[in-house]
Amino acid sequence: MTTTDAAPATAPGKPFDTERVLAELTLEEKASLLSGVDFWHTQPVERDGEALVPSVMVTDGPHGLRKQAESADHLGIGNSVPATCFPTAAALGSTWDAALLRRVGVALGRETRANDVAVLLGPGVNIKRSPLCGRNFEYLSEDPLVAGELGAALVQGIQSQGVGTSLKHYAANNQEADRMRVSADVDERTLREIYLPAFERVVKQAQPWTVMCSYNKVNDVYASQNRWLLTEVLRDEWGFEGLVVSDWGAVRDRVAAVAAGLDLEMPSSGGRTDAQVVAAVREGRLDEADVDAAVRNVLRLVSRAQPALAEPGAFDAAEHHALAREAASAGTVLLKNDAVDGAPLLPLAGGEGLAVVGELARTPRYQGAGSSQVNPTQLDDALTALRTATGAEVPFAAGYAVDAKDAGSGTDAEALRAEAVEVARAARTVVVHLGLPASYESEGYDREHMDLPADQVALLEAVAAVNPRVVVVLSNGSAVTVAPWQGLAPAIVEGWLGGQASGGAVADVLLGAANPSGRLAETLPVRLEDNPSYGNFPGELGHVRYGEGIFVGYRWYDARGIDVAFPFGHGLSYTTFAYDDVAAEVTGSGAEAGVRVTVRVTNTGDRAGAEVVQVYVADPQSQVQRPERELKAFAKVALEPGEAREVVLDLDARALSYWHPVLRRWVVEGGEFVVAVGASSRDLRGAVTVEVEGEDVRLPLHELSTVTEALADPRVGEQLREVVYGSGAFAEDLLAMVGDMPLAVIADFGMAGFDRARLGELLAAANA
């Protein structure tokens, strides 16, 4: 059993009456509570030697506890307590398994509680806009539904243990380049449909104790002082009840931030910004009611943390390591498994004739760099795990150095490669471990390209030239280019950064002890240039334009029919699944509309396995441009060989809606919808067309509405048609010319007796 020996800075007790405490505080004490006392602790308030308001500790996550001493570096793993390093979000997202992530969350919560920490700073649910984002390993998906559902599960699990979470980074934090100053310039529809829904879903389903604002600006306003984000959307619309905390060092104007809805600035400012808040209240530039609202949220956080701090408990490190191994194997994606000698190359039959090549098999890369680095309780490597599982002394050659540059040549590289070729030549099957060095991806900077190191690709080419039975295992936190070399390997296994137990998980998958059930939560493009953000990432001169709008990830590739290496949702299994009896039934109408989707899924193979059933919705005709298809529901279904099950997935009105850029609300536009069920965005097994009765989404007519818009309006269309065409002043075939003319222009022409007075009558009738 593992616990912590560190005593809390202030002895924990029972929850306290926040309103009573608030009433006792001076303005100076209130202001002090709105920033940290140091790097990791909130500010205490003492009276007569006793804590009126205790201090609590928060610390980094999200895939493992990173509790550091105050003297630590805050960026590396120095002085961090040992903690289970679970798979990174890139791997957890690929599980598509909310129940599993809830269990991981419970384990994270236990470790957080056992170490006297009140809040674990995570999870991150930002969208993977570009594969180059240096922090993509901390984010779950390119799709807001996947990110939101899995993020909510993590939050529910962690908070079930009496400790809090910090949902981050809110919002539009999709790059590391210039992250502390850049303005993410995004239209509202894109924000509402792509970049905000994951946060919204987690808030509404799980109520995280805190939400962390991002460093960047959103449409030229820093997130830390963006009232629309922090108050109007987060609290007023979504009903967030917790505390808003800044990312560390994200506050530019503390007074403006308090007024906007930011409660807690971290880390400590040494009292500088506390004094600014006091002065602003004294001078009438800041309403003390805004200060009270922020202090109230801080007090509630501290109060609700007291029971767990009073009884921290313990956790079983071995049990958590086993869970980390299960989660890593569940997030492993079998990208490819072609037949060699008449049978799929994987799973391996055992250790006989097996060889392993690649330094990453011996020296694993299992987590990303930066503030999420964890000091693991133990660490598996794939080479040892394979040898242990097979009972064989599997031959090994390093093949490359993990810190090598992209040269791909030189005496040392050539010698390592030559040794690996000889090992591969003597083997029946060779497993080649490839991946990204730690320096390639980290918090604080973005990647320059998507490619593997050149010496690793050269190694694969050399090995494949002497042995056709090649399995590639990837270790990377972000999508890598596979198209140039994927033809060299009959089998490709994407292991991501799978945490401290990733070595054992890889062995489980390769040997068939675990049937791979991971699915891609992000598209693997053929080239970086195919990505929708290309040309608009990472921006210039302090601005990044989200010019692709809602067409992010698979929405872009599918709408434009662009070839991809592997599509969103893709992942193979050691068994097969059949889809039958796809059906969809509409219930309700308008804002109350819904669709119940049913499908029968059968395991048609000879192994137990899990399939991820994905439901995509298309709206072929709409007032606005919509994607070719959008994921709106999914379920992971475990089936024994020969077992069949009816899967039911319910879509609510929101799943049919789009954000109307003029009405500025979600709308269900009536008409036909195509509901498709499949195993990826490009592997659709069945589709049903349904008719949905929508809302009235007609826009008010005004003087600058066009003739075409007015003619299409059932309220006045016939009247206008009689006016415009009845006298013969305009022929029907001239509609193409006059159709885009504003009504006011036609009225000013004075033709056919249609003047401003008549226009006023039509507008009054239309908008009554």
**Architecture of the CATH domain 322-566:** 3-Layer(aba) Sandwich (3.40)
H or E element, residue 245: strand 243-246
Q: Which runs of consecutive H residues, i.e. helices, occur in 283-410?
A: 288-310, 317-330, 382-390
Cβ atoms 538, 444 nearer than 8 A: no
What six digits make up the tokens of 492?
């490709």
Q: Among 577, 492, 553, 437, which residue's Cα sits nearest to residue 93?
A: 553
Coil, helix or strand at residue 292: helix
Q: How far apart are CA 515 and CA 509, in angstroms?
A: 6
Helix axes 288-310, 272-282, angle to 10 degrees: 140
Give residue-wise pLDDT tens across range 709-754: 888 888 788 877 777 666 555 566 666 777 888 989 888 887 667 7
The ranges assigned to domains in the chain are: 322-566, 577-692, 707-766
Q: In sequence order, what are the beta bridge partners of 674? A: 618, 689
CA distances from 668 to 520, 596, 665, 698 (A): 29, 16, 10, 12
Cβ atoms 32, 43 nearer than 8 A: yes
Q: Which runs of consecutive H residues, i.e. helices, occur in 175-235?
A: 188-190, 197-206, 227
Please name the residue that has the structure tokens 């509790």: 67
Q: How far apart are CA 486 and CA 508, in angstroms?
A: 23
Cβ atoms 149, 123 nearer than 8 A: no
Give residue-wise pLDDT tens across range 303-315: 999 999 999 999 9
Query: In the prediction, which pLDDT does 525 show?
Result: 98
Q: How far apart are CA 102 and CA 206, in angstroms?
A: 11
pTM above 0.75, yes or no: yes
Cβ atoms 555, 628 nearer than 8 A: yes
Query: In the prediction, which pLDDT does 322 show?
Result: 98
What six digits make up the tokens of 327?
């989660």
Show the low-confidence residues of the chain (pLDDT under 70).
Answer: 1-12, 69-78, 404-409, 724-735, 751-752
Q: How far apart are CA 84 and CA 317, in angstroms?
A: 7
Q: Which residues of 623-661 are buried (b: 16+ CB within 10 A; e: fewer)?
A: eeebbbbbbbbbbbbebeeeeeeebebebbbbbbbbbbe
Cβ atoms 692, 593 nearer than 8 A: yes
Q: Among 174, 42, 164, 225, which residue's Cα sits nearest to residue 538?
A: 174
Q: Among 387, 373, 621, which residue's Cα sits nearest to residue 497?
A: 373
Give the catalytic positions in this structure.
247
Cβ atoms 131, 537 nearer than 8 A: no
CB count within 10 Å of CB 39 equals 18
Strands (E), 557-593: 564-566, 577-587
CB count within 10 Å of CB 591 equals 16
Q: Among 695, 532, 703, 551, which residue's Cα sits nearest to residue 623?
A: 695
Q: How far apart are the first and last CA of the chain?
A: 72
List, as one string, the DSSP characters of 434-480: EE--GGGSBTTB--S-SPPPHHHHHHHHHHHHH-S-EEEEEE-SS--
Coil, helix or strand at residue 517: coil
Cβ atoms 644, 691 nearer than 8 A: no
Cβ atoms 204, 238 nearer than 8 A: yes
Query: In the prediction, which pLDDT does 135 show?
Result: 96
Give the 3-state secondary structure of 643-690. CEEEEEEEECHHHHCEEECCCCEEECCCEEEEEEEEEECCEEEEEEEE
Question: Superfamily for 577-692?
Answer: Immunoglobulins (2.60.40.10)
φ, ψ at 600 (rounded to 5°): -100, 125
Q: In sequence order, what are the beta bridge partners of 742? A: 706
Q: How far apart are CA 703 and CA 592, in angstroms?
A: 33
Strands (E), 67-152: 82-83, 119-121
Cβ atoms 429, 418 nearer than 8 A: no
Q: Among 235, 179, 251, 241, which residue's Cα sits nearest to residue 209?
A: 241
Cβ atoms 494, 474 nearer than 8 A: yes
Cβ atoms 569, 558 nearer than 8 A: no
Long-range contacts of 445-448 (CB under 8 A, 24+ apart): 445/134, 445/176, 445/177, 446/130, 446/132, 446/133, 446/134, 446/175, 446/176, 446/177, 446/538, 447/131, 447/132, 447/133, 447/134, 447/478, 448/132
